[in-house]
Amino acid sequence: MRKLTSLIATFIAATLLSGCQTMQSQEPVELRGTGDLGLIVERATGSVLVIDHSEHDILGRVEGLGDLSHASVVYSRDARYGYVFGRDGGLTKVDLLTQQIVNRVIQSGNSIGGAISQDGRYVAVSNYEPGGVNVFDSETLDTVLTLPANYVNDNGEQDQSKTVGLVDAPGNQFVFSLFEAGEIWTVDMMATPPEVTRHPAGKEPYDALITPDGRYYIAGLFGEDGLSMMDLWHPEQGAQTILPDYGKGEQRLPVYKMPHLEGWAIADGHAFVPAVGRHEVLVAKMDDWSMVQRIPVQGQPVFVMASPDNRQIWVSFAHPKNNVVQVIDSQTREVVRTLEPGKSVLHMEFTPRGEEVWVSSRDSDRITVYNTRTLEEVATLPAQKPSGIFFTNRAHALGL
């Protein structure tokens, strides 16, 4: 018995020692938060870069995300997971910490962006083909709701509309626009079943935004001058037209790329708006939405974005003058600097407190980082045909 007990003790000691040696030989796991991470879309290769914007560092690349020629990203509430919306209808859930795809579904033939609900439970995707909006469980990517964008076309026939400008709104709502139908829909995800309300809007809404306080939903119009605005505090009033005459009596230039309204500049009580088909940034008073100024810029604006402190307005442009970025002072409303980050600038993203801005240049295969105080270049990072830049602080902002 003593001999057996001794053998058992020897075996246990050897097992424990082996386990300790195994544990000691493993590489230590790096613990980190997600607050200074982000994803950069590499549009030509179907991949995203995981980056650390505090260190100007590329942590890794995640591949296999399909067609990212027009892609955007939203984040889970804990900012660990990015939901990537691809042009091929793909919805991909990416883990920023493990740098892996968690799940991926093909939910349509052609999609154009999406949103995550206020409570983080639902991810919605807007579609060009076949149209409509699909809503998914953010944990599993199981389908929760399918909303065909049905309308009656000019021939009196039932048809499906492209959906655009999808955002999340307070009260756990989604809001989006119908391009062909000229409507704005709100979806109340707290109702059982979810409740959809339709509102007539202007002609051919092509994109939209929601103001930072979540009150106003504003859709740009391609089919007419002006914009359609809904006061979500008073949805019973429906959509009204603002800035209706900014191009009255003028011939519109050929539109090489539609402006993006996400990230619109709201600064000093004014909205700074890209003018469709014109080399101008429009300035409107937010108390009555009247236009007070037209700022001439060097090309057709695509993104007009305010720095987090609202002192600067950064403007990117459509082809053929898309190799520069112009910076406007929000108080003087004058262009104070023209920068040249590289060929074919596609997107810009401010760090959460606004000390830097990251700019993607597709045809230069790089990201350029500027100090927003000095307007000097502080870093460059290599990337394969980069487009959208999305930092995780978006997890805590409406409409992003």
- Give me the pLDDT at residue 277, please: 79
Q: Hey, what are 260's tokens? A: 């993006």
- Give me the pLDDT at residue 263, please: 64
pLDDT band at 259 (very low <50, low <70, confident <90, very high): confident
Please provide the average confidence, as pLDDT, over all residues in the chain: 90
Say if residue 370's pLDDT is above 60: yes
205 cis-preceded (ω within 30 degrees of 0): no
Among 12-26, 114-128, 216-230, 328-342, the minimum mean pLDDT is found in: 12-26
- Give me the pLDDT at residue 287, please: 86
pLDDT band at 297 (very low <50, low <70, confident <90, very high): very high
142 burial via Cβ count (<10 Å: 0-12, 13-18, 19+): exposed
Rg of the chain over CA atoms, in angstroms? Answer: 24
Say if residue 5's pLDDT is above 70: no
Say if residue 13's pLDDT is above 50: no
Question: What average pLDDT does this structure show over 356-378?
Answer: 98
Among 30-34, 39-43, 187-191, 344-348, the minimum mean pLDDT is found in: 30-34
Among 14-18, 83-87, 176-180, 294-298, the minimum mean pLDDT is found in: 14-18
Question: What average pLDDT does this structure show over 14-23?
Answer: 42
Say if residue 396's pLDDT is above 90: yes
- Give me the pLDDT at residue 222, please: 86
φ, ψ of residue 3 to 5 degrees: the values are -65, -40
Higher pLDDT residue, 21 or 114?
Answer: 114
Say if residue 15's pLDDT is above 50: no
Say if residue 372's pLDDT is above 80: yes
Question: What average pLDDT does this structure show over 312-324?
Answer: 94
- Give me the pLDDT at residue 257, please: 64
Higher pLDDT residue, 133 or 276?
Answer: 133
Among 176-190, 244-258, 355-369, the minimum mean pLDDT is found in: 244-258
130 cis-preceded (ω within 30 degrees of 0): yes
Say if residue 162's pLDDT is above 60: yes
pLDDT band at 8 (very low <50, low <70, confident <90, very high): very low
pLDDT band at 212 (very low <50, low <70, confident <90, very high): confident
CA quadruple 100, 106, 107, 112: dihedral, nearest 10: 80
- Give me the pLDDT at residue 1, please: 47
CA 224, CA 371: separation in Å to the nearest integer?
38
Q: Hey, what are 315's tokens? A: 């403007």
What is the CA angle 269-274-278, rounded to 5? 135
Q: Against a cut of 0.85, is the pTM above it? A: yes
- Give me the pLDDT at residue 243, please: 83
Higher pLDDT residue, 243 or 55?
Answer: 55
- Give me the pLDDT at residue 288, please: 87
Say if residue 304's pLDDT is above 60: yes
Domain boundaries, the chain: 107-242
Distances from the Cα of 52 to the Cα of 9, 12, 239, 384, 387, angstroms: 49, 45, 41, 17, 17
Say if residue 3's pLDDT is above 80: no
pLDDT band at 175 (very low <50, low <70, confident <90, very high): very high
pLDDT band at 16 (very low <50, low <70, confident <90, very high): very low
Task: Name which CATH class applies to 107-242.
Answer: mainly beta
Question: What average pLDDT does this structure show over 221-239?
Answer: 92
Question: What average pLDDT does this structure show over 199-214?
Answer: 92
Q: Hey, what are 396's tokens? A: 């805590």
